[in-house]
Amino acid sequence: MLRLLIKGTPLKRLTHGIPIVGVLLAAEVAAMAWAHLAKLNRTQRRRLLTLLAQTRGRPDSLSRSEREELALLFAILEPRLLLGSAAKRLSPVPVPKRLLYGPRASPARVAAKEGLT
């Protein structure tokens, strides 16, 4: 009877075939991305989304000042630091810092050294 209850539970049916480790790693990367997105305040996040929607995948549809503003907002997000910390976390082998964070004086390397990853 107990064996039937264990086999027939909805949880058992839901988890069959789902790679739990992959889901956990994806959630961890999403949490890292959320932490980087939190570097922008509310108005900056809205402006970033507005500019991204306006481009529709083509940066040439923005004016020069809007492209500069978009580049500034991306610089605040520190995408290289996000990718480097995600690769460092997900990689089973050590990855050289120069590949993760760029040259020695790069902002991503300085932030990683300060423990902001």
Least confident of 22-26, 85-89, 95-99: 95-99
Q: ∠43-28-16 over CA atoms, to 5°?
A: 130
Helix axes 20-37, 79-90, angle to 10 degrees: 160
The total of structural domains in the chain comes to 2
Residue 3 counted as domain residue: no
Domain residue limits at 111: 79-117
Look at residue 31 in the predicted model and tell me its pLDDT. Answer: 92
Residue 34 counted as domain residue: no
Residue 100 counted as domain residue: yes
| 3-60 residue pLDDT tens | 555 555 555 555 566 677 788 888 999 998 998 889 889 999 999 989 989 988 888 8
